[in-house]
Each structure stands twice: as C-alpha cells, then as structure tokens.
Amino acid sequence: MRQPALTVALSAPYLVNGEPARYQSLWLLAAICAAARNGGASLPAVHLQTRFPDAANIRMLVSRAFADFARWGVPVGWGPERHQGTAGLNPSRRSRGPFWIEPAACKRVRFTMDGRSADDAALARFVGLGTAATRRAARLGDEAHPAVDYVMRDISYWSHLTQAMRGMQDGVGVAGVAGGSAGNGVADALRAAQRCATDDFQHAFALLKESLAWRRGDDLARSRAALQRFDRIVGTGTVDTAVPTFAAMARVVRAWERYAGNQMAAAQAELEGLAADPALQPVLRYNPRVRFETLNLGALIHKTVAVRDMATQPQAARQAAEAAMAGFSGALQAAYEADSVDAAQHVAANLGLCLWLFWNHALIDTGRAWPASQVQRQAVRWLGLSEWICDRFGVGGGSAWNIIFLLRIARGNCAQDGGGALKTFRAQQPLLLAEAVDALRPFHAPFARAKGFISWSSLASFALDEHDTGHVHYGTLPLANLLLEASWFHAFEHGAAPAAFATVERLAGLLGKLRPAERRFFLSAITALPRELQLAAAEALRAAPRPARKAKARPRLPG
C-alpha cells in the first residue's frame, strides 16, 4: 500500500502536514532529504553540530528529531550500514550519524516555501548545503563545469564573511561595536556565514575565523569552542586537507589556543610541527601571511618565556628575548610582503614594547651600550609607526594599547615599585612629551594637541573620555592599564589632585574583574604610586563588591 505524502513547509510558521513542528527536527529532515537528492548521499552529523552550535545537548536534539520523524511516519536511518535498513540500527549510536533516507521514503516528502512547491535548489538554500539541483541550476546550456557550479552558488556565505572581515578591520568587537560591547558583531556575521556555507570547507574556514576573532576579543572559552567545532569538521575527512595554506593556518590557530591557555611548550610544539611538516614547509617559505602569523606568534611565545624566566633562568630568558626580537623583525618583513597594514601595525607595536621591556630588564644590551633615553625614543618610534598606520589606513580601531605602551615607556626609567613620599615621586624624570613627539617624526601627525598631546596626563584623560563617552569601548584589561597610567601621570604632573585619586580608585574597583595574574600585576604596580594614592586604592578595594567566586578572597595591596 502506497503511503501518503508528507508536506513540509520551509517558511514560518514551520508546519508538517499542517501541524506546528520543531524547527530543528524540520531542518534535519530537510537536510537529510537534500543530501539524498544529491546522488543518494548521507548527511554527516557535523552539519547538525555546526548548524546548531549553541545546542546544549546534540544527543537530545537528535533524539527529539527522530521521535518527530517516527510520529510523521518517515523512516530515517543512521550510521554506515545502510544495507541493514532502519529496523536493526542501534539507537545509542544515532547522534554520531551520518543520517540517510531511502529514495522511496524521500520521494514521499514534499517541501513548500511561502505556499509554493520548493524545488531542490530552494531546499539547498534553506539547509545551506550544495545539492545536485543547485549544480544543475548553475550550468550554462547543456554542459556542466565544476568552476561554473561553484560560482553560481548563493553568495550569502561570502557576503557575511566579508562583513565579518570588515568589522575586524574597523575594530568592531567580536560581539558588537569597537571593544566588544553588546550588539551585532563579527561573531554574528561569522555564524551567519556558517549557516550559509555550501560545503565543509566553507564551514571550517568560517569557524577558523571565529576562533581567531574570539581569541582577539579575549574570550578564550568561545575561541576554544569554535576550534573544537572546526576540528570535528576536519576530522570527518570531508574537507580538502590538500589545501596547504588552510592546513597551515589551522595549525597556527591551534597554537594560538595553547598560547592563550598559557601552555607555552604546547604552543611552541604546534609551530615546530608546522615547520617540520614537509607538505607545509613550502607554505611558510612562499606565503607571507602564514609566515607572518607563525613568526608573530612564535615571538609572543618567546616574549612570555623571557619575562617568566628572567628571575630564575637569566641566560635562557636572554636567549628567549633575542629570539622574540628576531621573530618580530621577521614578522614585520612578512607583513609588508603580504601587503597587510593591519599585521604591520600589530608587530610594530610589539617591537616598540618589547624593545623597552627587554632592555629595561637587561635581557638585551646587557653591557648598556645604549642610554635609556635612546632606547625610549626608539621604542616610541615603533609605536608611532603603529599608530600612524592605524590613523591613515583605518585599521586597529578602538584599541588603547598603543597609548598604554607609549605612556608606560615614557615613565619606564622611573621607579616601578617602592613608591612613597609624593615629593620623591614627583622628582623623577620620565621622558619629556616634547622629546617623544620629536622622536615620532615623521609619524607624528596622529599625535596632535586635539587628541590630548598637551601633557602625558591629558593624553591619558583624552583616551578615557573616548571610552566614557561611548566613542570607543575598551575591555576590562586595557581600561585597567589606562587607569594605571592616568593615575601615575596625574600624580606626577599635578600632585595629590582629585583626578589622580579618582583614577586610582576606579582602577581598584576593576581589580575583582581581572584574572589572578592580572590582579597581581596591578596590585604590585599600585605600590609604585605615592603613599596617598596607595591608601586611596586600599580603601576602594575594601569598599568594592567581593568577587563572584566564593573561593576567591578580596584582593589586597601588599603591606
């Protein structure tokens, strides 16, 4: 006896035979049928995982979908053993996929969209998968060609990907406007791209971008989650791993995840594995963008190791510092070779900061052939190049790090701990603003009086005003750094002024939101301020709300 057809409405309200249906179940059935019409293919489980990445439990989603399929009378199978039929399959392995439907059962399912019959091309657009129908629609005349098929696909994926890339260039936060406030951001565009992907490579590429975006936004948990979804797709073997640049960038992103998790040895091992892979060695040699990413991250790893080991293993720390400077120098060359001004500004800023940091801790120039002022001026020049690129090319928007680095280097020759009497504190001699501006030439145009370049404290205040008025949005860590610099220079230039107390108290109120290592840095840095400001910070700490975690004690200043 021939079973009746099943009518599935692909437009809201989503209905099956006129009855409301769960969207996830409806989508899964549509995707399985789309795959079946594509030469009888199965649907890998990874498509379900990438389509619903925020689902708390994929097994539960699959279980509910199959309960709906049973109620609708549609026999759907799973696993590689299609010859057994659906009756003898083990439900405990169902969520692993792949999912399939027999041709006869697939023919019973009729899809509609906006009240009209939906053909295979419309079905493919709904589920975001390529089908034979979309390829047929892509043909010109009677002849098919894979390149034409690809070009004739829906370009929504590339549209969303382009919007995400423009957002990253403009400094839009991964979750919203510059700095990461709420709203439509880079992650939303990348998720939309994933939903519109027409093959596994596009899915994986968008996830790779998403992982990098979350990492740059300092959201390591989401970065790791995106990378895990990426690995699930690549693990199916359906992505063309013969694309060497893609495979190399995947290794770099995995190394970034290890680096962000403070696993320096593991991160270094990932990069060494990339360099040792015979299939990927030509990528490092001939692709300047991949070479930049590898050298830049390698230099950051060496920088972290140098700072970590300088007290306990000074010789190893000096070697790491030299390796970091060599890595950043190579990364700068690769950035210009790749015509990537954004990459160039990032590495120029790192060169400026590390030059002063390593010199100040005697990790380079141990014989002190260069006077402090000469190193300060050279470090400032690198920062000036970075800021000039940001200003002229419209990249790196919304970041406070160049200003923070500039302020910190300007006072870098002053006492970094043991602050006490205000008079002694103000007797110190940081780099003069006029000397810094002179060192910035010919990249001094962005450092105008209109941007606060009247005094060091005015520069800090201008940057804070930009954040407080909503023109930009700084994350907690850069904001805390900016408040520290503002406190220092307000006290140095104006003494025990209200602005100095206001900024240090505001800084103390932020400490509970920082990671333990970050809190320790700021608690130590506050001790370099005059005694009056240390007391104000301690009082603000006592008045601040306790950290959310019960196990965490309230931060305390030493002494």
Structure confidence by residue, pLDDT tens digits, 72-107 = 998 898 887 776 677 768 787 788 778 888 888 898
- pLDDT reported for residue 231: 77
Mean pLDDT of the chain: 83
pTM (two decimals): 0.68
Domain boundary among 150, 172, 206: 150
pLDDT at residue 64 tops 80: yes
- Bigger pLDDT: 556 vs 249: 249
Which tens digits make up the pLDDT trace of 106-135? 988 999 988 888 888 788 878 865 443 334
- Bigger pLDDT: 450 vs 349: 349
Domain around 461? 382-559
- Residue 374 maps to a domain: no
CA distance 234 to 240: 9
Domain boundary among 150, 185, 207: 150
- pLDDT reported for residue 278: 86
The separation between CA 223 and the C-alpha centre of its own chain, rounded to angstroms, equals: 6
- Residue 197 maps to a domain: no
The model's confidence at residue 50, banded by pLDDT at 50, 70 and 90, is low
- Residue 322 maps to a domain: no
Helix/strand/coil for 514:
coil
- Residue 235 maps to a domain: no
pLDDT at residue 558 tops 90: no
pLDDT at residue 418 tops 90: no
- Do residues 533 and 487 make contact, with C-beta atoms less than 8 angstroms apart? yes
CA distance 308 to 72: 62
Q: How many domains would you assign to the chain?
A: 2
The model's confidence at residue 524, banded by pLDDT at 50, 70 and 90, is very high
pLDDT at residue 559 tops 50: no
- Residue 404 maps to a domain: yes
Residue 182: count of CB within 10 angstroms of its CB = 10
Alpha-carbon distance values, 371 to 317, 409, 450 (Å)? 22, 14, 32
Which tens digits make up the pLDDT trace of 248-269? 888 898 898 888 888 999 999 9
Instruction: Please compute the mean of the pLDDT values over residues 472-500 and round it to a whole number.
Output: 94
The model's confidence at residue 55, banded by pLDDT at 50, 70 and 90, is low
- Residue 277 maps to a domain: no
CA distance 417 to 435: 25
Which tens digits make up the pLDDT trace of 180-220? 433 347 888 898 888 888 777 888 888 888 888 887 776 77
- Bigger pLDDT: 447 vs 184: 447
- pLDDT reported for residue 498: 96
Helix/strand/coil for 384:
helix
Name the β-bridge partners of 110: 7
CA distance 56 to 24: 13
Instruction: Please compute the mean of the pLDDT values over residues 304-326 and round it to a whole number.
Output: 95
Domain boundary among 150, 174, 193: 150
- Residue 409 maps to a domain: yes
- Residue 441 maps to a domain: yes
Instruction: Please compute the mean of the pLDDT values over residues 13-32 and round it to a whole number.
Output: 89
- pLDDT reported for residue 204: 84
